[in-house]
């Protein structure tokens, strides 16, 4: 049996591999983006400054969230 299988219940089903642990900087980056998405005042200010809709700002923040190292 390798690291990607389980024998619980005897069915030897495959499970997804665990992703490597995030370093502190990556955790901080992601948490900052998530906090920004939840902060409605921040979203309104940024949308106003950039002449975008709040939905567009949220979309761009989510895009940053899934893009590594931005």
Measured distance CA(8)–CA(3) in Å, rounded: 13
Q: What pLDDT does 1 receive?
A: 46
| pTM listed for this prediction | 0.62
Q: Contact 53/47 with Cβ under 8 angstroms?
A: yes
Domain boundaries, the chain: 20-66
Q: Which residues of the chain have pLDDT under 50?
A: 1-7
What token pair was written down for 35? Answer: 């906090």
The label of the residue with tokens 């990556």 reads: 26
The label of the residue with tokens 């400054």 reads: 49
Q: What pLDDT does 14 receive?
A: 65
What token pair was written down for 48? Answer: 């106003």
Which residues sit opposite 5 in a β-bridge? 14
Q: What pLDDT does 5 receive?
A: 46
């Amino acid at each position: 049996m390798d690291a990607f299988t389980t024998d619980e219940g005897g069915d030897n089903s495959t499970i997804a591999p665990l992703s490597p642990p995030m370093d502190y900087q990556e955790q901080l980056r992601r948490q900052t983006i998530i906090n920004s998405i939840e902060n409605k005042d921040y979203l309104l200010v940024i949308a106003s400054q950039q002449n975008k809709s709040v939905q567009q700002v949220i979309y761009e923040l989510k895009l940053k969230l899934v893009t590594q190292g931005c």
